[in-house]
Amino acid sequence: MRTEDLIHFCPPGRLIIGAGSRSQLPALVARLGYRKGVLVTDPFFVKSTPWVDEYVRSASALGIETIVFDGGEADPTTTLCDNATQAVRIALGGNAPDHVIALGGGSNIDLAKALCITLPSGRPVRDFVGGLTAADRPIPLIALPTTAGTGSEATPGAILVDPSNATKVAVMDNSLRPQIALIDPEFTYTCPPRVTADAGIDALTHAIESYLTLDSVQYDRGGHPDPGYSGRSSLTMLFAREAISLCARYLKRCYDNGADVEARTGMCYASVYAALSYGSAGLNAVHGIAYAVAGMTHRSHGTTNAVVLPYVVDALAAHRPTETTEIAQIFGICGESPEHAVRELTEFLRELVAYLGIPTTLKDLGIAKASLDSLTRDALAVTRLAKSFPVCDVEDAYGRIVRNAYHGRLGKAPTSNK
């Protein structure tokens, strides 16, 4: 407990975790009184797994009608959402659904969240970027994540790409948090190593970033009575610590052997615990810079986070010495002194990124040196993340992190941005 904390914690309405737990869903949906739903997924899950058909048939036997939209894509765009809105509304024949189900990774869940907002009125999703009004009533969402990393099943936001400028925009409100988050580790058993690595490092990033972010007592909630994010607290840090510990034990094991059921299950818990942390505490520079990197390289979310992570932790060490030392200890890093332990931690994180087959510098990711200034500006433009970075001079810190990440420098904070 920290007496100065100002906690505003919003978990999913129901959290269900367990191998095979997907079989419980139709009965639960029926018990909640839902009768007409939309299942949002992508072609892979319709054609290559039995899960969609199993659910639709079981739900139908209980009197629940389900329309399947299988047009989900990686990094969904605002255009995709608007097109999906019109297609689903036509398929519904003017009848509003009473629930939406998302099956897939973070991209499918983000798309489903956005559709929860757009389906009632048919309005374009950009109308809701920046926040919802009291009159906006999203359709209840049920999330079934098939990867162990994004944590979208416990967060208040839908992240979409604006194709006009390749930047990511957010639709954010606590009403978008799923009414049911069902985590069935069996969904993840067949994830290929690349997906496992990207998702796993994303979970670790969420946990570390939220563990080191701005305190709740300092967080600017803008006077909002129901903020989606509200800074770290003793409660969010509890979940973050456990998530980091689980990643330390299971991330490499899961990547090395996808058939390791214990490791798969451990990473599912790591992902949802990290989400329970960052879903209220919020994030900062890793994601802020990674969004800008993704806009330039179109690389995956997990990869862009991974490249930046060690350099942000390096930059935060002086501002969060106790917490970074604690993270080092979770990974079994003691060091001759706290300073040595933190240096070893940042090097360990970079080595972990390399072990997972991910580039460890922005240069190796394909970013040109001439683009570093514009990349920094783009990252700072994500103000909701920049303002949560717990340093005195955020602009200078971002510039140094970007350059260190380009050159691969750790523990060598330059005195200039060259």
The whole-angstrom separation of Cα 79 and Cα 161 is 9
Quick one: pLDDT at residue 131?
87
- Examine residue 128 and state whether it is found in any structural domain, yes or no: yes
Quick one: pLDDT at residue 414?
39
Tokens of 274: 């990290």
Q: Which among 187, 202, 223 is the end of a domain?
A: 187
**Same-domain status, 356 and 296:** yes
- Nearest one of 93, 96, 37, 43 to 67, comparing CA atoms: 37
**Same-domain status, 180 and 128:** yes
**Same-domain status, 21 and 111:** yes
By residue range, what is the domain housing residue 88?
Answer: 14-187
The whole-angstrom separation of Cα 275 and Cα 330 is 19
- Examine residue 173 and state whether it is found in any structural domain, yes or no: yes
What's the pLDDT tens digit per position in 273-318?
Answer: 999 999 999 999 999 999 999 989 999 999 999 999 999 999 999 9
**Same-domain status, 303 and 372:** yes
Q: Which among 152, 187, 222 is the end of a domain?
A: 187
Helices (H), 12-93: 25-31, 43-48, 51-61, 78-92
**Same-domain status, 326 and 385:** yes
The secondary element (H helix, E strand) that includes residue 67 is strand 65-69
The whole-angstrom separation of Cα 174 and Cα 381 is 23
Quick one: pLDDT at residue 412?
55
Give how many domains the chain has, as a whole number.
Answer: 2
What's the whole-model pTM score? 0.96
- Examine residue 246 and state whether it is found in any structural domain, yes or no: yes
| Centroid of chain to Cα 218 | 23
Quick one: pLDDT at residue 249?
98
**Same-domain status, 72 and 220:** no
Q: What are phi and psi of 361, to 5 degrees?
A: -135, 155
Beta bridge partners of 170: 159
Strands (E), 130-214: 141-145, 157-162, 167-172, 180-183
Quick one: pLDDT at residue 96?
87
Quick one: pLDDT at residue 235?
98
What's the pLDDT tens digit per position in 350-366?
Answer: 999 999 999 999 999 99
**Same-domain status, 306 and 261:** yes
Residues of the chain where predicted confidence (pLDDT) is lower than 50: 413-418
| Centroid of chain to Cα 243 | 14
